[in-house]
Amino acid sequence: MRYVSTRGQAPSVGFVDAVLGGLAPDGGLYVPETWPQISAQEIAGFAERPYAEVAARVIGAFAGDEIAPADLLEMCQEAYSTFTHAAVVPLTQLQPGLFIAELFHGPSLAFKDVAMQILARLYDHLLGSQKRSQTILCATSGDTGGAAVEAFRGRRNARVVALFPEGRISEVQRRFMTTASEANVACVAVKGSFDDCQAIVKQAFQDQSLRQAVDLSGVNSINFARIAAQAVYYFTTATALGAPSRKVSFCVPSGNFGDAFAGYAAQRMGLPMGKILVATNANDILARTFETGRYARGKVCQTMSPAMDIQSASNFERLYFEGVNREATETARAFAAFADSGAIDVPPQAFAAMRELFRGVSVSEDDTARAMLRTLNETGELIDPHTAVAISALRRVNGIEGPVVVMSTAHPAKFPEAVAKACGVTPELPRGVATLASRPERFDRLPADAETIKAYVRAFAGA
């Protein structure tokens, strides 16, 4: 299986290089040259199989012959044994036809663990066999950093630098990063927004000398292995509800568009699907794009669902590339224009193709709070603000076919203030992480300046 860049100016690479490289050297994103296929009969059989086995099958389809199936299965089994629920991603029913997929039973209580736990094991395995050690630089709007630190802490062949926007993430989110004591972890509070952090990461990747000196790699949702790992729970949840003989729809609280794009990947692999509703908070770039066909950056504002406080959704470039029938020159032009002016128009045919699967809805803070309270009152379930954005979005659209699965992306205890304010109930941290609040923290503070942060990364990597 080969991977090509959405911008067409980088050589194609195998799965291992696409994973270890993160972003393509031309600034584009890697996508598989062709989408691997899984037959309807095999998909139907997923309903009976353990999560780790389905994961090994789906991720293996993307890895091709570059990773031995037995090794991949072992890594998946180890990765998903860190989850505290035997189903790994269990479904809870809220009302007839409405289910939530609980993606938050991993070590940092957010859906990022689902991909990161397997990604860290893949990295360690691949780097070990190449006798390399890498520096992973990630920007986090809250949950990626915690999940990355949890997954990579203490691993032998990789170190992690996590950049987060100072004061814009919850205390629990911060503590999942800053309480790791392992020497291969560094956390940086950046004086700026998540978009600033993400822009700095992009600049670091474009600096060839830094890239080589520290063997830089990324685990943000631009990394294709994350998309592959996230496609898995579309298969497991859909088959639990009767797919492939029944079409299931999804509603996905979205920021960087990695999670929702993984649904697109699952569909392209052969999973029949109704719609994917892309739910955003007031940072509505994706919701606007799927409703108007114009992808235009807005001003980032702070909300109670901070993991989605983003106004440029990196993975959208992958969907755009598909929408324009994989015209890399056109994709490169569009995203250079977007970087320049902050707005592009999706060509009409591409937009029509996107609308076959996607819809977008943006949800206000008031409606988010109301959705938390109403869900508690009607079902007894406490949900986190990100999940509430999705639940609220769903109430505002018509014509979503079949049973709907809402991706529940964080445990409510990760956002105790917002949940308590909306519901009058403070969610408890699960037993395994109860000591989080009392562990000592360790992080540095830096300005939102690419040169400063690049120097910091060099020093940390000892380069």
Name the residue nearer to ligand PLP (CB basis): 89 or 307: 307
**Element spanning 143, H or E:** helix 143-152
The window from 94-102, 247-255, 318-326, 435-443 that contacts ligand PLP (CB under 6 A) reads 247-255
318 binds ligand PLP (CB under 6 A): no
Minimum separation from the CB atom of position 150 to ligand PLP (A):
13
State in Å, rounded, how far the first CA of the chain is from the last one: 33
Q: Which residues contact 292 (CB under 8 A, 6 or more apart)?
A: none
| Dihedral over alpha carbons 31, 49, 75, 100 (to 10 degrees) | 70
| Residue 214: CB minimum distance to ligand PLP, A | 25
List the one residue from 123, 224, 250, 257 that touches ligand PLP (CB under 6 A). 257
Pick the binder of ligand PLP from 410, 418, 433, 457 (CB under 6 A): 410
Q: Widest CA span of the chain, in angstroms? A: 57
Residue 255 sits in the site that holds ligand PLP (CB under 6 A):
yes
Q: Least distance from C-beta 33 to ligand PLP, angstroms?
A: 23
Question: Quick check: bond before 430 cis, omega within 30?
Answer: no
Is 256 a binding residue for ligand PLP by CB under 6 A? The answer is yes
Among 221, 249, 283, 289, binds ligand PLP (CB under 6 A): 221
Choose which of 79, 100, 232, 308 interacts with ligand PLP (CB under 6 A): 308
Question: Sign of the C-alpha dihedral, residues 288, 290, 296, 301?
Answer: positive
What is residue 396's DSSP assignment? Answer: T
Q: Cite the beta strand spans of 56-212 per DSSP E.
A: 91-95, 98-102, 134-139, 158-165, 185-191
Only segment of 164-172, 237-245, 251-259, 266-274 that touches ligand PLP (CB under 6 A): 251-259
Query: How far is residue 418's CA from residue 337's CA, in Å, rounded to a whole number?
Result: 37
CB closer to ligand PLP, 127 vs 406 = 406
Per the annotation, the verdict on 112 as an active-site residue is yes
Q: Is 307 in the site for ligand PLP (CB under 6 A)?
A: yes
233 in Cβ contact with 114 (< 8 Å): yes
Q: Which of 60/258 has CB closer to ligand PLP?
A: 258
Work out whether 174 is an interface residue with ligand PLP (CB under 6 A).
no
In the complex, minimum distance from the CB of residue 78 to ligand PLP, in angstroms, rounded to a whole number: 23
Using rule CB under 6 A, residue 143 touches ligand PLP: yes
Q: Are strands 2-5 and 273-280 parallel, antiparallel or unpaired?
A: unpaired
C-alpha triplet 416, 150, 304: angle, nearest 5°: 25
Tokens representing residue 96 in the block: 């007839």
**Owner of token pair 């970087």:** 339
Query: Within positions 90 to 119, which residues make up the interface with ligand PLP, using CB under 6 A?
Result: 110-112
- Residue positions annotated with a catalytic role: 112
Binding site for ligand PLP (CB under 6 A): 110-112, 143, 221, 253-259, 307-308, 386, 409-410
